[in-house]
């Protein structure tokens, strides 16, 4: 096997965002683009040489080519063993599970998550170190710094082993092990949940509709829900992974999972509806004519955790990202456990999970997870709901209503203004930040401002600090507005406005979130001068 050292020049734009490096396919297609980033990781993570690397992706356009490149680079950089998902496929949580379970030094996951795929779509790569979670800011910054000074990368010239069947092969000095992408993950799920109880539930006529959105979870859902748990095959829709996700946006929300929404609002709606995203780490949970916000989902799972075998002994603590509603905070208070508020990005949960301070965590962006892996986990959340439905034997909407009656309801929406001019969006945020000191103590829309700040976070475990993580304005009538720019977009800027209003009165728990939050949405537009600064009167997407 010959190893080539290829001269290259740095690209200026390889700073990872909220979750890895995400760009248009055309950007990744530039000669040396992927190679530079991968070499930068090898250069700053010396444990990979002589160690084990996990490799896989969500199967989107460009996946196969990137897998081939990384295999050759791994061999050239002295990686001892590469564990690659059959067909180059691994969901994000399954990759995290393999990294941890096989004692790997890290893994590359090829995905742009919920962003569209295909030649005109997006591609992405993220590196997860040995704990199986997204690289923390210290690592991503080191990779970025390295990418700014890189002059060469190493790549092997060798024929690759077949990746379409399980097996163990040699690539020079490197062992390449092709594994079933589902097996280890399914075994972990079987340890966490009561599969017998779920089988019983399904045998009794309980129906589920799981929308894999033509993305990576199709094979996982089929194996677990259909083969292992006995759901009828038609329970998994859009199960075939496609490189362009069938031209759809593989984002599990009410806007993009339209087919599922139609089923769940139809006459013969199943008892549980669920969807996952491109790489399988997001989830959406629906009941018949009922949408569970991700924030509520986290709160309900936390409140019911001891019903499920994997969490029978209770929770060490919980965490949510700052823009996520404060529903879980109330559960934590009742349970007498700690509740942490972190910046947006799963990476911020890692140290809390590693230190054993939290067991469950989640985000408003359809992400829920636990200490079983170090990524959010879509199918895990669906199984958790299934298991608690099997334990309680009550319809999902009744469980949700009972939860609100006990803890109060947090009406919640996120409004996204997409494709904004990046400079205008930055100016909007800067102007808002500048006004914060003057807002404290003032009245907005008839309520007093109790907090107006730019969220900053000090990690209680390692002391690392993250600043400028979003503007939050809290009012004394239970309302909160949060403003931040997305860190995952690939075109222009996306302004996210998060709206929340707490309602303790059960007589007012059956209202439409859109109606309840309309005055707050108008106030948010006014406070941030959204129409004047962006030319937009209303958001593009509401979730
Ligand atoms: C990623 C991150 C999440 C984050 C979400 C949205 O999810 O892993 O932690 O909440 O993006 O981030 P932003 O608001 O910056 O766009 P995923 O599923 O896209 O990897």
At 441 the pLDDT is 84
Same domain, 137 and 121: yes
At 1 the pLDDT is 87
Give 3-state DSSP helix, strand, coil % of the chain, rounded to 5.
35, 25, 35
Query: How would you classify the pairing of strands 493-503 and 409-420?
Result: antiparallel
**At which of 381, 407, 433 does a domain end?**
407
At 2 the pLDDT is 95
What CATH number corresponds to the domain at position 436? 3.30.310.50
The response to whether residue 367 sits with its C-beta less than 6 Å from ligand 1 reads: yes
At 121 the pLDDT is 94
Same domain, 416 and 401: no
At 301 the pLDDT is 98
Same domain, 228 and 371: yes
Same domain, 301 and 422: no
At 445 the pLDDT is 87
* Spacing, Cα 332 to ligand 1 middle (Å): 24
For a substitution probing ligand 1, which of 213, 319, 346, 375 has the most ligand atoms within 8 Å of its CB? Answer: 346
Of ligand 1's atoms, which has the minimum distance to the CA of residue 489? 16
Q: What are the average pLDDT values for consecutive 10-residue runs of the chain, which has 543 residues?
A: 96 91 96 98 98 97 97 98 97 98 98 93 96 94 98 97 97 97 98 98 98 96 98 96 92 92 96 97 97 98 98 98 98 98 95 97 98 98 98 98 98 96 96 94 92 96 94 95 90 95 96 96 96 94 91
Q: Name the residue at shortest CA distance from atom 18 of ligand 1.
A: 113
Same domain, 55 and 121: yes
Give me the half-sphere count of Cα atoms (radius 13 Å) on the Cβ side of residue 177.
14
113 is an active site residue: yes
Q: What whole-number distance in Å separates Cα of residue 41 and Cα of residue 98?
A: 19
Pick from 193, 215, 345: nearest CA to 284: 215
Tell me if 475 sits within 8 A of 447, measured CB to CB: yes
Same domain, 54 and 11: yes
DSSP state of 103: T
Same domain, 207 and 275: yes
What CATH number corresponds to the domain at position 332? 3.40.120.10
* Spacing, Cα 165 to ligand 1 middle (Å): 32
- The secondary element (H helix, E strand) that includes residue 339 is strand 338-342
DSSP string, 27-53: HHTSTTHHHHHHHHHHHH-GGGBTSEE
Q: Name the residue at shortest CA distance from atom 3 of ligand 1.
A: 345
The residue range of the domain holding 66 is 2-181
* Spacing, Cα 348 to ligand 1 middle (Å): 12
**At which of 139, 159, 181 does a domain end?**
181
Same domain, 120 and 47: yes
Give the CA distances from residue 82 to residues 49, 166, 302, 420, in Å, rounded to whole numbers and listed in that order: 11, 13, 36, 41
Tokens 């075998």, located at residue: 309
Tokens 């329970």, located at residue: 235
Domain count, the chain: 3
| Longest alpha-carbon distance in the chain | 73
* Spacing, Cα 76 to ligand 1 middle (Å): 32
DSSP string, 196-244: HHHHHHHHTT--EEEE-TTSTHHHHHIIIIIIIT---GGGEES-S--TT
The response to whether residue 345 sits with its C-beta less than 6 Å from ligand 1 reads: yes
* Residue 365, both tokens: 């962006």
Q: What backbone torsions phi and psi does residue 436 show, to the nearest 5 degrees? A: -55, -45
Same domain, 322 and 347: yes
Same domain, 263 and 374: yes
Q: Name the residue at shortest CA distance from atom 7 of ligand 1.
A: 19
Same domain, 191 and 48: no
**At which of 130, 146, 181 does a domain end?**
181
Same domain, 416 and 509: yes
Helix axes 396-407, 294-304, angle to 10 degrees: 80
């Amino acid at each position: 096997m010959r190893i080539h050292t290829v001269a290259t020049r740095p690209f200026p734009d390889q700073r990872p965002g909220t979750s890895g490096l995400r760009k248009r396919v055309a950007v990744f297609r530039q000669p040396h683009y992927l190679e530079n980033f991968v070499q930068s990781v090898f250069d700053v993570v010396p444990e990979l040489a002589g160690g084990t690397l996990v490799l896989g992706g969500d199967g989107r356009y460009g996946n196969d080519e990137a897998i081939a490149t990384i295999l050759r680079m791994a061999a050239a950089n002295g990686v001892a063993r590469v564990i690659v998902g059959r067909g180059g496929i691994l969901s994000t949580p399954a990759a995290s599970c393999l990294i941890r379970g096989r004692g790997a030094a890290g893994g590359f996951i090829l995905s742009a998550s919920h962003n569209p795929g295909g030649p005109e779509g997006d591609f992405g790569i993220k590196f997860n170190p040995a704990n199986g979670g997204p690289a923390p800011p210290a690592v991503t910054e080191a990779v970025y710094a390295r990418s700014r000074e890189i002059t060469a990368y190493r790549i092997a010239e060798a024929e690759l082993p077949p990746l379409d069947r399980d097996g163990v092969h040699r690539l020079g000095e490197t062992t390449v092990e092709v594994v079933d992408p589902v097996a280890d993950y399914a075994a972990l799920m079987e340890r966490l949940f009561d599969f017998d109880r779920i089988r019983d539930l399904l045998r009794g006529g309980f129906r589920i509709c799981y929308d894999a959105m033509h993305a990576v979870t199709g094979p996982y859902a089929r194996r677990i829900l259909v083969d292992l748990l006995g759901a009828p095959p038609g329970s998994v829709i859009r199960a075939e992974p496609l490189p362009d996700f069938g031209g759809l946006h593989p984002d599990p929300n009410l806007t993009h999972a339209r087919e599922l929404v139609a089923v769940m609002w139809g006459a013969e709606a199943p008892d549980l509806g669920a969807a996952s995203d491109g790489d399988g780490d997001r989830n959406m949970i629906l009941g018949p004519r009922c949408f569970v916000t991700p924030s509520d989902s986290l709160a309900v799972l936390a409140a019911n955790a001891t019903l499920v075998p994997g969490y029978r002994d209770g929770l060490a603590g919980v965490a949510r990202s700052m823009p996520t509603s404060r529903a879980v905070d109330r559960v934590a208070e009742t349970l007498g456990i700690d509740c942490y508020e972190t910046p947006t990005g799963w990476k911020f949960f890692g140290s809390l999970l590693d230190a054993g301070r939290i067991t469950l965590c989640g985000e408003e962006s359809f992400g829920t997870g636990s200490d079983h892996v170090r990524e959010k986990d879509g199918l895990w959340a669906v199984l958790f709901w299934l298991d608690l439905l099997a334990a309680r034997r009550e319809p999902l909407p009744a469980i949700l209503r009972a939860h609100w009656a006990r803890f109060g309801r947090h009406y919640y929406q996120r409004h996204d203004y997409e494709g904004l001019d990046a400079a205008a969006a930055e100016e909007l945020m800067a102007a808002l930040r500048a006004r914060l000191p003057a807002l404290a103590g003032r009245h907005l829309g008839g309520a007093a401002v109790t907090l107006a700040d730019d969220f900053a976070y000090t990690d209680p475990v390692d002391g690392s600090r993250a600043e400028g993580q979003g503007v939050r304005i809290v009012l004394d009538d239970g309302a909160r507005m949060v403003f931040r720019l997305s860190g995952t977009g690939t075109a222009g800027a996306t302004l996210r406005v998060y709206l929340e209003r707490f309602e303790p009165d059960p007589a007012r728990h059956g209202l439409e979130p859109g109606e309840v939050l309309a005055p707050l949405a108008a106030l948010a537009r006014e406070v941030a001068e959204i129409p004047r600064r962006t030319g937009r009167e209303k958001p593009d997407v509401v979730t």
